[in-house]
Amino acid sequence: MFGKVFKYEMKAVRRILLPLYGAMILVALLFGLTTSMTTDFSGVGEGLPVIVDIAEIILSMLFFTGLTACGVITFVVLIRRFYSDFLGSEGYLQLALPVTTNVHLAARTLTAFLWTLLSGVTALLSLAVLVFIFSFEIQDLTGFFRSILDAVRSLEIPPLSMLLLILSLLLSCLSGIAHLYASIAIGSLWSGHRMIGSVLAYIGTGFVWSTLNGFLGAAFDNSSDFLPFHISGIPFSLEYSVLGAMIALALIQFILYYLIAWLILDKALNLD
Amino acid sequence: MGILDCRNLTKKYGADTALDNVNLELIPGRIVGLLGPNGSGKTTLIKLCMNLLKPTSGEILIDGMKPGPYTKSLVSYLPDRDILENWMNVLQLLDFYTDFYQDFDAGRAVNMLSSLGIDERMPLRKMSKGTREKVQLIMTMSRRAKVYLLDEPIAGVDPAARDYILRTIISNYDPEAMVLISTHLIADVESVLDEAIFIRQGRVDLFDSCDSIRERTGLTLDEYFRRTYHFE
């Protein structure tokens, strides 16, 4: 049943998000092309009509607002979908299915995780398209990606640290999704004011978790800024333990929020 | 044990009691009317059967099990509202039901859709309210379920549509299944009912066969309802 719920969740969201991501990459491509023409690196763009300048301005605005919009719209679509699936009219269809709450929740968490990653990939790809068009000295895509890899290598981050860092980012993304879902579940307990309840729950649980993080950080390092924000300043001997702690905390956070969401939706949900 | 049992079932919303110590035993092969005025607890009872609400106390058993994935695989439920996903068309909805319900008879659904001239490729969001209601009913009645829970299936539709809906219910339910129809439009459903549950302010006033009620009171169910539940 997990696969079926997952399939329909992906279908329900993709009709909105895929065209959005496609449009974002197209805007990046057009913005890159018009900018490369007007900046006239090669002299080809001399004497271009004013309309190209206007198009460049409009496309630049579209590009930069689009980057933000991709993230915001993904966020809104995923929250709205979850909210209506469990608390809206769609809940009468979804929750009547012969499926456990855990399967409902897990499928939606995975869906949200994948779309969040895809929105990040879209943003990176848009920037990559732009950089690629600007970088005339780079003649092909392979060379372009090689140059990115070289840039990453020049940071001299050990491969294991990089792996742990990526893992901790992925887990943070998952725990962020579970945090949202837990907040909506907690908000559902406040019948009549579920939306406000969800927002307050999000702020409240976020505050509690940050405070807890602060205490844990202080206990670990005798400093309040234990968590991931100053990695570059941390001695190498500490790096693995810091990354390990980040991963452990993100995992604990994910499990806690997921359990809260599951418990409330399974044991206490009352559909209006 | 019936196919649907309620034991000391109570549901409260804060200080308000929606259902008060309800005890029922419904057996297969019957069409049962859940009859009562607005706000009497009919929808609450059905939502409790579907686990969309949690009881304050007491329990519901369907085929001997508490509401959950197993009982949902036995129960075909028509809610009192529009629940269709706007992004789907009818074909996708048929796939959805086929994927999730083993007892869904897609052929039966296609026949009913075609008899109503409903285009299967039409997006659900483009359909009129009445057509969406019919699609919802067709999906519900195309399952070969053990229990059908139909919440106000004829409320808000014109008399011709009411006839169609009742005909669809009668001609499509499995004779071994139990059909529970919640409504306050008693005259329209009276002819199809085997048994009736009269409910008021969350309490079961009367649960008996329709013939017995008519025989004892000398009234039709509709007349009995009007006489019993009239406003002073």
Contact across the interface for A11 and B83, Cβ inside 8 Å: no
Minimum distance, in Å, between the CA of residue B99 and any CA atom of chain A: 7
User: CB within 8 A of A232, min separation 6: which ones?
Assistant: none
Q: Buried (b) or exposed (e) across B134-149, using 16+ Cβ within 10 A?
A: bbbbbbbbbbbbbbbb
CB B36 within 8 A of CB B196: no
Minimum distance, in Å, between the CA of residue A259 and any CA atom of chain B: 19
In this predicted model, what pLDDT tens digit does every residue of B88-107 receive, in sequence order? 999 999 999 999 999 999 99
Contact across the interface for B87 and A98, Cβ inside 8 Å: no
Check if the interface score ipTM surpasses 0.90. no
- The C-alpha atoms of residue B53 and residue A117 are separated, in whole angstroms, by 35
Minimum distance, in Å, between the CA of residue A270 and any CA atom of chain B: 4
Nearest CA in chain B to A90: B83
Q: What is the pLDDT along chain A (272 residues), one digit of tens a residue?
A: 899 999 999 999 998 899 999 988 888 888 777 777 766 555 555 566 677 777 777 877 888 888 888 889 999 999 999 998 888 888 899 999 999 999 999 999 999 999 999 998 998 888 887 777 766 555 566 666 677 777 767 766 677 777 888 888 899 899 999 999 999 999 988 877 888 989 999 999 888 888 887 777 666 655 444 444 444 544 444 567 777 778 888 898 899 999 999 999 998 888 87
Predicted structure pTM score: 0.83
Contact across the interface for A15 and B83, Cβ inside 8 Å: no
Which helix (H) or strand (E) segment holds residue A104: the answer is helix A101-134
Of A92, A191, A243, nearest to B81 (Cα)? Answer: A92
In this predicted model, what pLDDT tens digit does every residue of B155-186 receive, in sequence order? 767 777 777 778 777 777 778 889 999 988 88
Which of B46, B70, B82, B83 is the mutation pick for testing A, counting most A CBs within 10 A?
B83
Contact across the interface for A91 and B52, Cβ inside 8 Å: yes
pLDDT score recorded for residue A67:
84
- The C-alpha atoms of residue B158 and residue B171 are separated, in whole angstroms, by 20
Contact across the interface for A271 and B53, Cβ inside 8 Å: yes
pLDDT score recorded for residue B232:
46
